[in-house]
Amino acid sequence: LPRTIRQILISEKDTASKVHVHGWIKSVRRQKNVTFAVVNDGSCASGLQAVLSNSLDANFHGLTNGASVRMTGSLVTSPGAGQAHELKVDSLEIVGECNPDVYPIQKQTLTLEYLRDHAHLRPRTDANAAMLRLRNSLVKSLHAFFERQDFCYAHTPILTSSDCEGAGETFRVTPSSTPTPREAPTPECECTPLDPHTEFFSKPAYLTVSSQLHLEALASSMSRVYALSPCFRAERSQTNRHLAEFWMLEAEWAWTKEVDDVCGLVEACVKDALGAGRDERALLARGIAGQEERVKSLESAAASEPWPRMTYTEAISELEKYHTSTALRTRPFAFEPKWGHGLQSEHEKWLSEVLVKGPVFVTDYPSTLKPFYMRMNDDEKTVACFDLLVPFVGELVGGSLREERLEPLQQRMTSHGLDPAGEEYGWYVDLRRYGSAPHGGFGLGLERLVSWVSGIENVRECIAMPRWAKRMLL
């Protein structure tokens, strides 16, 4: 492979030897005798400034933003400010022209909505490319973390027969046409045409909303497992933190008995990720208002230890106190905080941004608000779970101890309208029959992590090709 611009910049320190550069033109500045062009191949934030003598080539008319080029030249110390090195170009080849009159990605600031409409060209903007590299760094940091903790990286199915979260947000999957056998039936291939009115799998199939239940089956043998998978939810909320397709890092491990321990692992893993992708984060910070405050808040989150933990009951009491405070002329929240009701995003933001001023674990929610698999606490009212709330984003992680006792699990399932002996969840209940062990885990939304560490406000800008209700462009 030819070297990337990042590799060239790392290894060629002013040797003046010939280098070959491949990339796309980001900007062109013509002067009387020379032309400056920034070329980037997506491997680094800055790209490389190329200096071309105007006598060099007749190809110059094709040297426009977006054109793909091959250049040969020598890397020399740059006399100008802004970059340590520049490329003194000997030869230039325009590989793919890009007509500046119609190219949709112009230099002026383009609105987020406009760029979402051009999702296939959006990765060409510096900000989107920086987000992609940052996402990559975060994923590598997460993998490295779990590797160090001796977790096994596992792949769980995307097609499922269950709705892990029980929120009724699954996408149903059906074949687009009647499947017919490709070949005539033989003894090895007993294919028969399927009736279009029956299910392909003989039962309804859905896209997964979470890998958790399958990870629990794996953790019952492998002890420590994790997955990084796409998840699909037919979300009704159209907010800056919800997508219909997002990626979730999920970990599940046996022999954990306290919610506090699960929170501890989440904290270590997220703190680790806060150190990743510093160049990209600096580049992204440049364009965003209020960055100083945000960067400070991230730095203090990375340094403070341990992140505060409060129960849901304590959180509600703090919210109620604030909401009914006589010092305030109007009630601050649109939704009144009340025990037994879910925390609204305005409540989550207040807890992390105002009360704690940093990440906070809220634990032990009422069992009525949470899915069937969470372990019931001794009070029989709350479950051993937590949400990690962070400033500017709200809920970043959700996790719990799982109900490992057979009878309490069967009871909870029945009260959630699920059949513990049925085909969909019978296998899950089985895990409690054969060598059940205390275990727990969590799920972290990757796009929300990207949003938090970068300051990018909407998760629609934290994934290459976002999907949400009524929007799937490519």
- Distance between CA 94 and CA 61 in Å, rounded? 10
Q: Residue 230 CB, nearest distance to Mg ion (Å)? A: 17
For the chain, how far is it from start to end, CA to CA, in angstroms? Answer: 29
- Residues in contact with Mg ion by CB under 5 A are 398
The yes or no reply on residue 259 touching ligand 4AD (CB under 6 A) is: no
Sign of torsion over alpha carbons 24, 114, 295, 265? negative
Nearest alpha-carbon partner for 441 in 345, 375, 365, 343: 375
Indicate which of Mg ion, ligand 4AD, none lies near residue 26 (CB less than 5 to 8 Å, by partner kind).
none
Among 6, 375, 412, 448, binds ligand 4AD (CB under 6 A): 448
What is the smallest separation between the CB atom of 328 and ligand 4AD, expressed in angstroms? 30
Residue among 145, 146, 151, 246 that touches ligand 4AD (CB under 6 A): 246
Angstrom distances, CA of residue 427 to CA of 376, 402, 420: 21, 15, 9
| Consecutive H or E run containing 225 | strand 224-232
212 binds, among ligand 4AD, Mg ion, none (CB under 5 to 8 A by kind): ligand 4AD
Q: Mind spelling out the 3-state secondary structure of 346-374?
A: HHHHHHHHHHCCCCEEEECCEHHHCCCCE
Q: Is 224 in the site for ligand 4AD (CB under 6 A)?
A: no
Of 133-141, 279-287, 301-309, 397-405, the segment contacting ligand 4AD by CB under 6 A is 397-405
Residue 37 contacts residue 28 (beta carbons within 8 Å): yes
Tokens of 35: 């032309």
Q: Contacting ligand 4AD (CB under 6 A), which of 163, 165, 267, 364? A: 165
**138 contacts ligand 4AD (rule: CB under 6 A):** no
Residue 93 main-chain phi, psi, to 5 deg: -125, 125
Among the listed residues 23, 277, 337, 398, the single contact to ligand 4AD using CB under 6 A: 398
- β-sheet with 224-232: strand ranges across: 152-153, 224-232, 245-254, 439-445, 394-401, 385-390, 360-363, 309-311
Binding to ligand 4AD by residue 404, rule CB under 6 A? no
Q: Of the two residues 92 and 459, which places its CB atom closer to ligand 4AD in the complex? A: 459
Pick one of 135, 242, 271, 375: the residue that binds ligand 4AD (CB under 6 A). Answer: 242
Cβ–Cβ under 8 Å, residues 354 and 344? no
| Minimum CB distance to ligand 4AD, residue 213 (Å) | 8
For ligand 4AD, the binding residues (CB under 6 A) are 164-165, 210, 212, 233, 235, 242-243, 246, 248, 250, 395-399, 441-445, 447-448, 459
